[in-house]
Structure 1
Amino acid sequence: MNPVSPDMLALQRLYHWEKAAPHQVTLTQPMGGGVIQDYTWSQVADQVRRMAAHLKAQGWEPGSNVAILSKNCAWWLMSDLAIWMAGHVSVPLYPTLAPDTIAHILTHSEAKACFVGKLDAWENMKPGVPGGLPCISYPLSPPDVLNNHDGWDAICARQAPLQGELVRGAEELATLIYTSGTTGRPKGVMQSFGSFAWALDAGITRIDLTGQDRMLSYLPLAHVVERVLVEHGWLRTGMRLYFAESIDTFPADLQRARPTIFFSVPRLWVKFQQGVHHKIPPARLQLLLSIPVIGALVRRKVLKALGLDQCRIAAGGAAPMPLALLSWYRKLGLPINEGYGLTENLAVSHLTVPGTNQEGTVGPAYPGVEDRIDPETGEIQMRSPALMMGYYKDPVQSRAAFTEDGWLRTGDKGQLDARGNLHITGRVKDLFKTSKGKYIAPAPIEDKLVMHEAVEACVVTGANLGRPLGIVMLNAEAVARSRDAAARTELEASLSEHLKGVNATLDPHEQLACLVIVTTAWTVDNDIITPTFKVKRNRIEDIYSANYERWEASGKKVIWQAS
C-alpha cells in the first residue's frame, strides 16, 4: 500500500476538527415538523466520545463488529466514529433490507450490538434482528425501538466522554461493507482505515472537495460511494453536511442544502429530468434553451427549482448513465461526471475529468490506479492501494476475486480508448446468447430503453430466444394513467414508437422482438432491485422467464403483463 499520512486517517480528522474548529456548525439534521438541529464539531466530538466510552465499557474484545441499521442521519456518522474510537469495526446495513438479509448479515458478522435508527419499515425488518442482540436507538428511531432499547441521548447523558486520542492504524480493519448483491448472498468486504485515506487522496485529485463545500447526504451511507465521498470527504475537509428528512420533503431538503457537490444514481437523475419535463414539455424546453438570453435564464430557473443552482460538481454512478441523459444535463448547464468503481476498491477506479466532455466513458483511471482489459474475456481488471483486504470469513471467494498477479477481477466488460478513457460495455456474466448463436450485451440497450418518460426501470433478456426482448417497469405516474383506456392506448402507441426508434440504432441481432410492460413496481421489498436501484437479473428470470417464448411468438410489439 502507498503510504498515507497518519493525520489523514478518519479518527485523526475528527480530533483535528475538534481542536481547530470546535464552534463551526458541521451537521444539519431535520427533526420533523420543520425543526432543524445543528451540530458543531465540538458537539459531534463530545457525543462520539460519550458513546465510545459506553461501547468500550461493554468489555468486548477489541476489533469486535458493531452494526448500524438506519437511514442517513447525524447519529449514523457519530455511531461510526464511536465504534472506531472504542476500538471496534462498524458493519453498516442498508435501511431497506429484507429481514432474512438483515439476519444473515448480523449473524455472519457476529455483531455484538446494533444501532437501530431512523427507519421507514421497522415492523417488517424487526424479525431479522436476532433476539437478545443489544440495540441502541436514535432520537428519530421508530417508537417501538425507542420504547424497548437504550437511547442515544440517555447514554450520552449518563456516560462521561472517553478521554485522549485513540489512534487506529492504517492497516487496521475499519469496516465490513456488505455488497448489495445482485446475485446470491451479500459478502462482507473488508476495508482498512488506510484504504479510506488513500481513496480520499486519489478522489480529491478529480473531485476537488473543500471546507467551503456543502453536501446533502441521502443515498444510503451503507453504500460505498456515500461512505467515501460524503462521510470521509466530510472528515477530510470539514465541510457542512445536510441530511434529507424523507422522500416527501426531498425537494425542500435540497433547497435547504443547496449542495455544491451532488452525487446521484442514474435512476434519480432520470426522475429529476422527468419532473422538469412534467412542468416544461421537452420540445418547449429545448426551444427555450436554444434562445441565447432566454436560454440562460431558463437554465438558472430550472436548476434553482431543483436546488442545484449552486452545484459546481455533479456526479453519477452505481449503474451506467444513458448518453442521452448526460447530454440533456449538459445542455441544462449541469454536466455530470460519470464514475465507476466497486465496493472492493472503495469506488475509486475511474471518473470523467470535470470540465472535459468524456460522455460515453467513465473517464481515465484515478492517479495511482492501474487498469487493464483481459484479452480473452474483455473483463476490466484493476489494482490500487484502495483494494479490499478480502471478504469476511470467505477465503475462497477472496482468492477468486483476484488474478494470480494481484489484479481485482471486476466482473465488468470494457474497452480502453486511445486517451485511456474506459468504456464499460456490460457485465461478463450478463452477456447472453440468442438461439441464432449471437451474443447480446444488455446494458447499452437498456440505457436507450430507460429514456422513455414512462419507464422507471428495464431489463433486456432472452437467452436462447430468436431475438431478445425488453421488460419495462412503468413509473407510478404512467401506471396511474394506464388505468384509463384511452390513455393506455396512447401510452402503448408511444412505447411502440420508442421501441421502433431504439431498434433502429441496433444491429439486426440485437433488435428487440417486443416490449413487455410491467405495472407492478420492482422494489427492495419484493427482492427485485438492490438498495442502489440495480435490477437483480436472476430474479427477473425467476419471475418472467416462463413467458419468454410465448411473448416472442405473439408477434405483438407491446405486451401488457398482468399484475
Structure 2
Amino acid sequence: MEFKLPLEQFYHWEKETPYKTYLRQPHRGRWKDLMWIEVSKQVRSMASFLMVQDLPSRSNIAICSKNSAYWVMADLAIWLSGHISVPIFPNISPTTLEILLEHSEVQMIFIEKGKDWEKMKAVFPKDLKKVFLPPHQDKMDLSWEKICSEYRPFNQNIKREGSEIATIIYTSGTTGQPKGVMHTFDSFSYAAKNVLEIINLEGEQHFFSYLPLAHVAERALIEVGSLYINASISFLENKATFPENLRKVQPTIFLAVPFIWESIQTKILQKLPQNRLSFLLKIPLLSDFIKKRLKKKIGFSRVQFAITGAAPINKELLEWYQNLGISIIECYGMTENLTYSHGNLEAPEYFGTVGKPYPHVEVQLASDGEILVKSPCNFKGYFKDPERTLNDLQGSFFKTGDLGETDEEGRLKIIGRKKDIFKTTKGKFISPKNIETPFLKSPLIKQVCVVGNGLSGPIALVVLEEIEHRLPTESIKKELFALKESINQNLQNHEQIEKVIIMKDEWNDENGLLTPTLKLKRTQIENKFKKLFDKWLKDKKEVLYEVD
C-alpha cells in the first residue's frame, strides 16, 4: 500500500471501506459505533462550516477536550478546511489555558464542557468562537451536532502539501513559558510509514485511546497511526471505567506510561499475591492457563505490541510482565521529534535500554552525556520563538535534555534528565532517578521524588500505595527505614538518603504535581514542600510523616 499524507489516507478509507467501523464512542456504558461513511459526513460538514468563517488562511484552531470520536473528527476537519490544529490538554489550569490561548493565537476552539468548565470559561477571549463537543451542550451553544445538521458535507479532496505545518503541539510540562512545537504533514507520514515497516502487525487492528490526544505519542500512534492501517479506535469513557473499557476493547496495540503499568500490576497483586502467582506460574500446564486468563481479564488477549514510554520504567517491572507472557517495548522520543527516535524492538532482550535508533535516526552524545538526536521527524521550530529553537538545536541535532549512554551496537540507555540533577552542600552532583528507581520496586511505594538541592543530603518524599495506609504507623515506618538502609548500601556516601518523608496526599494532575502524562513536576513538588526541608532534616527520626 502506498503511504500518503494523513488527509489522503482519510480520503482513501472513506471511499474504499465506507461501512467499516472506525470510531467507537462510549456513553453511559453503551458504545456508539461510527462507520467511515458517518465519520466522513461529520468531518466534511464541519469543514464546510470552518470554510465560511472568514478565517485567515492556515489559522490556528484549538481542540480542548478529553479523548473522543469528536476530537479526532475535529482534527480532520481542521486539516480538510486548510487550517492548523492546536491540541490543548483538557485538565490544565485556567491560568495556563489563558497563556496558551494568547500565545497560540487561535482563531477558534473546539471545547468540551468538562468538570472545570466554570473555571475555564472565564479566561476565554470574548471574541473567540467556540464549538462545543458532545455530550455536554446547551441549546444556545454552537454545538457540533447543530453544525453537522445544518451544513452540507464539503465534497472536494483538497491537497495539503507535506511541508505545510499540520499542528502545533504544546509540551505537557508547559507552565508560564509555552513551547509550541510545530510539525508538518510529512513528519506524520514519515513516522507512520517507517514504524509500520518496523513492526509486523497481523489481521484487523483495534486501538484503545485513553492517554491524552494532546500528547504527541497518543496523537502519532493512535490517531494518525489508525489512518495508515485502517484500525478502529475505541475511546475511554472516564477514569473510573478504564478497567471495564480496556477489557471490552481488547486492543491489538496498547500504549501506556510506566504509572499505568505499575497500577495494573498493583491491581493484579491485590487479588493474586506475588507468592501465589509465582507458585502457579511454575506449574507447566497451569501456567499457560493463568497467563491467558490474566491477559483476557486485563484486556490484553489480542495485544500484539505493548509499548511503554514518556518516562523511565523499572527493568524489574518489564521482567514481571514478561513472566506473564507480555513483552513490553520501551520506546523513547520527544515532542520535538514526533517520538520517532528509539524503541527496544529486541525485547525481552536488553530490558533497561530503549533499543537502537529507528531507520535514518542519528544519535550523538555531548561531552556531558546529553543525548542529541537527528530525526527525519525533527520539528520545524517553536511557534513564535526562533531564539529558543536555535538554543535547543546543535546544528541539525535536537538537544533532548536527557543524559544517556550507548553500547557498542548503539542501544541507548537513559540515565536521567540533565535539569533534574542537583548538588547538595557536600558539593557533588546527584541524579535523583538512580535513587528513585530502587524505591519504586517496593510494593509499599506508589510515587517518590528525591530532592536535595542545597541541602546536607537527599530527602525521599514518598506516596504510599493506598492499601498500605491501613497498616499500623510504626510498622510502615519500620519497613521504610529498612528500605532506606538497604538502598543506601548501594549508593555512594554523598547520594545516601538522610530522611524518608511519607506524604499526606497523592500527587496528580489535579493538584498540579503531575503533568497530564503523569510525570513528576519536580520543581512544583520541591517548591511546595521546601519550607519544611530544614525542619525534617533537624528531626531525629529518619522516617516521618509530612504532618508529624
Correspondence 1:418 to 2:408: yes
What do residues 205-230 of structure 1 show as CA deviations (whole Å, max 9, x unaligned)?
33445661111000000000000000
What do residues 157-214 of structure 1 show as CA deviations (whole Å, max 9, x unaligned)?
1101111101111100000100012665331100110011111122223344566111
Corresponding position of 1:84: 79
Return the alpha-carbon distance in structure 1 between the equivalents of residues 439 and 302 of structure 2.
Answer: 31
Corresponding position of 1:215: 207
Correspondence 1:10 to 2:11: no
Correspondence 1:124 to 2:109: no
Corresponding position of 1:393: 384
**8 Å contact 2:58–2:83 — kept in the other structure?**
yes
Return the alpha-carbon distance in structure 1 between the equivalents of residues 487 and 542 of structure 2.
Answer: 13
Corresponding position of 1:440: 430
**Equivalent runs, 1:294-373 vs 2, <5 Å:** 294-373=286-365
Please state how far the C-alpha of 1:384 moved relative to its aligned partner. 1.4
Corresponding position of 1:249: 241
Q: Structure 1: which amino acid aligns with 2:34?
A: Y
Please state how far the C-alpha of 1:398 moved relative to its aligned partner. 0.9
Q: Structure 2: which amino acid aligns with 1:168?
A: R
Q: Secondary structure at the match of 1:222?
A: coil
Give the counterpart of 2:525 among 540, 550, 553.
Answer: 540
Q: Secondary structure at the match of 1:543?
A: helix
Return the alpha-carbon distance in structure 2 between the equivalents of residues 447 and 208 of structure 1.
Answer: 32
**8 Å contact 1:470–1:515 — kept in the other structure?**
yes
Which deviates more, 198-207 or 271-280?
198-207
Q: Secondary structure at the match of 2:420?
A: coil
Correspondence 1:274 to 2:235: no
**8 Å contact 1:341–1:347 — kept in the other structure?**
yes
What do residues 234-261 of structure 1 show as CA deviations (whole Å, max 9, x unaligned)?
0111011111111111111111110111
**8 Å contact 1:170–1:193 — kept in the other structure?**
yes
Correspondence 1:525 to 2:510: yes
Corresponding position of 2:443: 453
What do residues 77-97 of structure 1 show as CA deviations (whole Å, max 9, x unaligned)?
000000000000001111111
Q: Structure 2: which amino acid aligns with 1:80?
A: D
Correspondence 1:19 to 2:10: no
Name the CA shift for 1:90/1:209 in 2 (closer, same or farther; >3 Å).
Answer: farther
Please state how far the C-alpha of 1:553 moved relative to its aligned partner. 3.3
Return the alpha-carbon distance in structure 1 between the equivalents of residues 7 and 391 of structure 2.
Answer: 32
Identity %: 39
Name the CA shift for 1:171/1:341 in 2 (closer, same or farther; >3 Å).
Answer: same
Corresponding position of 1:66: 61
Return the alpha-carbon distance in structure 2 between the equivalents of residues 497 and 312 of structure 1.
Answer: 40
**8 Å contact 1:380–1:410 — kept in the other structure?**
yes
Give the counterpart of 1:466 among 456, 470, 478.
Answer: 456
Correspondence 1:232 to 2:221: no
**8 Å contact 1:139–1:146 — kept in the other structure?**
no
Return the alpha-carbon distance in structure 2 between the equivalents of residues 345 and 285 of structure 1.
Answer: 40
Return the alpha-carbon distance in structure 2 between the equivalents of residues 383 and 315 of structure 1.
Answer: 22
Please state how far the C-alpha of 1:356 moved relative to its aligned partner. 4.4
Corresponding position of 2:156: 164
Q: Structure 1: which amino acid aligns with 2:527?
A: D
Return the alpha-carbon distance in structure 2 between the equivalents of residues 159 and 439 of structure 1.
Answer: 61
Return the alpha-carbon distance in structure 1 between the equivalents of residues 327 and 492 of structure 2.
Answer: 30
Name the CA shift for 1:182/1:362 in 2 (closer, same or farther; >3 Å).
Answer: farther
Corresponding position of 1:402: 393
**8 Å contact 1:182–1:537 — kept in the other structure?**
no
Return the alpha-carbon distance in structure 1 between the equivalents of residues 302 and 439 of structure 2.
Answer: 31
Q: Structure 2: which amino acid aligns with 1:464?
A: G
TM-score, normalising length from structure 2?
Answer: 0.96
Name the CA shift for 1:117/1:9 in 2 (closer, same or farther; >3 Å).
Answer: same
Corresponding position of 2:494: 509
Corresponding position of 2:95: 100
Return the alpha-carbon distance in structure 2 between the equivalents of residues 541 and 148 of structure 1.
Answer: 45
Please state how far the C-alpha of 1:450 moved relative to its aligned partner. 2.1
| CA RMSD between the two structures | 1.8
Q: Structure 2: which amino acid aligns with 1:445?
A: I
Correspondence 1:494 to 2:479: yes
Give the counterpart of 2:281 among 259, 284, 289.
Answer: 289
Please state how far the C-alpha of 1:130 moved relative to its aligned partner. 2.5
Name the CA shift for 1:511/1:296 in 2 (closer, same or farther; >3 Å).
Answer: farther
Please state how far the C-alpha of 1:557 moved relative to its aligned partner. 2.6
Q: Secondary structure at the match of 2:501?
A: strand
Correspondence 1:199 to 2:191: yes
Name the CA shift for 1:122/1:488 in 2 (closer, same or farther; >3 Å).
Answer: farther
The size of the alignment, in residue pairs, is 548
Please state how far the C-alpha of 1:104 moved relative to its aligned partner. 1.0
**Equivalent runs, 1:29-68 vs 2, <5 Å:** 29-32=25-28, 34-68=29-63
Q: Secondary structure at the match of 1:325?
A: helix
What do residues 383-441 of structure 1 show as CA deviations (whole Å, max 9, x unaligned)?
111011101011111111101x2210000000011121101101111111222222111
Return the alpha-carbon distance in structure 1 between the equivalents of residues 176 and 449 of structure 2.
Answer: 19
Please state how far the C-alpha of 1:363 moved relative to its aligned partner. 0.6
Which deviates more, 344-353 or 290-299?
290-299
**8 Å contact 2:99–2:176 — kept in the other structure?**
no
Which deviates more, 42-51 or 174-183?
174-183
Q: Secondary structure at the match of 2:426?
A: coil
**8 Å contact 1:84–1:90 — kept in the other structure?**
yes
Name the CA shift for 1:76/1:543 in 2 (closer, same or farther; >3 Å).
Answer: same
**8 Å contact 2:344–2:350 — kept in the other structure?**
yes
TM-score, normalising length from structure 1?
Answer: 0.94
Return the alpha-carbon distance in structure 1 between the equivalents of residues 39 and 333 of structure 2.
Answer: 30
Correspondence 1:146 to 2:138: yes
- Find runs of 4+ consecutive structure 1 residues off by over 4 angstroms: none
**8 Å contact 1:116–1:136 — kept in the other structure?**
yes
Return the alpha-carbon distance in structure 2 between the equivalents of residues 103 and 364 of structure 1.
Answer: 40
Q: Secondary structure at the match of 1:309?
A: coil
**8 Å contact 2:183–2:380 — kept in the other structure?**
yes
Return the alpha-carbon distance in structure 1 between the equivalents of residues 208 and 113 of structure 2.
Answer: 17
Name the CA shift for 1:321/1:535 in 2 (closer, same or farther; >3 Å).
Answer: same
**8 Å contact 2:446–2:462 — kept in the other structure?**
yes
Give structure 1 stretches of 5+ with no counterpart.
Answer: none
Which deviates more, 456-465 or 338-347?
456-465
Return the alpha-carbon distance in structure 1 between the equivalents of residues 309 and 365 of structure 2.
Answer: 20
Corresponding position of 1:561: 546
Please state how far the C-alpha of 1:466 moved relative to its aligned partner. 3.1
Return the alpha-carbon distance in structure 1 between the equivalents of residues 332 and 171 of structure 2.
Answer: 15
